[in-house]
Amino acid sequence: MATAVAPKKMAMKDFKPEVPPDWCPGCGDFGVLNALFQACAEIDLPPRDLLVVSGIGCSSNLPGFIRAYGVHSLHGRALPFATGAKLANHGMTVIATGGDGDGYGIGLNHFIQAMRRNIDVTYIVMNNEIYGLTTGQVSPTSETGMKTKTTPHGNLEQMLNPMALALASGCGYVARGFSGQPKHLMKLYVDGIRHRGFALIDVFSPCVTFNKVQTYEWFRERVYKLEETGHDPTNFKGAMDRALEWGEKIPIGLLYRNPSPPPSLHEQDPGLQSGVLVHLPLGVSGEQRRKCIGEFT
């Protein structure tokens, strides 16, 4: 008599590819990637059901270092690509990854629009407060006064606050982690991926080569976990107060989770209610297809 075999549960090793990461030794992105391995295993997410999309930058090399479907897209364009992929196949778990320059600089408008649309994508931003791939220029999240290759006399601009911007843009899941605390970060990933709608996880990921200010030690002296303070993540005003906190104490953890989240974009789109788009019949005859193709030849 045949016996049913229980499906194998995913493990970290199932997401590790043959190609090892080539980031600088000590780069915070290693912690970001390892926490993602753990989160995918915790969720028991098969690699065939996962798509990781990135833009350009050191952090955006991540899709090449995880066993899943991956796209290394254009600078700042990870979110529109991820949006299209999610709408074409909303049965797929879609994660977008990138850095502060990629996502909060050239890609900033896409960031806002993805939150406004509430596309069901988890966005992991490796925030090292500098441009690493291009060797140390000032980024949108560099502190005012910071000296970099392009600001030798100090950054004159105000630093962008992505957490406050996400809250103001209607993001339903807003969290911040630190790559130096991977277990805590992994929990944020799990919750963010399970959230139905757009989820932002901003991660302090130190650049050991070009940012000699915001180091691991600098963050360890300042970060504290919100869940250890009695913070209520359903309180929007309290979340905004924490988002604006910067200096000697910087919060990490879940800032905000909308207690009454609106439906995500694919749940509202009438064209997607019949099922996953890529699995639906095309609905045109062979003759119609030939005629259409003939118009372009």
Looking at residue 277, its pLDDT comes to: 86
223-225, strands of its sheet edge to edge: 69-72, 50-54, 93-99, 122-127, 199-204, 173-178, 250-257, 223-225
From residue 176, give the alpha-carbon distance in Å to each of 63, 88, 104, 185: 21, 29, 15, 8
* Phi and psi at residue 108, to the nearest 5°: -65, -40
What domains can you pick out in the chain, each with its CATH number?
12-294 (3.40.50.970)
Collapsed DSSP state (helix, strand, coil) of residue 108:
helix
* Phi and psi at residue 109, to the nearest 5°: -65, -40
Strand partners, 254: 175
**Rounded distance, CA 52 to CA 95, Å?**
5
Rounded to two decimals, the pTM is: 0.93
Looking at residue 148, its pLDDT comes to: 95
pLDDT less than 70: residues of the chain: 1-7
CB 179 within 8 A of CB 30: yes
Cα–Cα nearest to 145, from 136, 158, 133, 135: 158
Which DSSP state fits 138?
-
HSE value, Cβ hemisphere, 13 Å, CA-based, for 77: 8
**Rounded distance, CA 120 to CA 201, Å?**
14
Looking at residue 19, its pLDDT comes to: 87
Looking at residue 37, its pLDDT comes to: 97
Looking at residue 280, its pLDDT comes to: 85
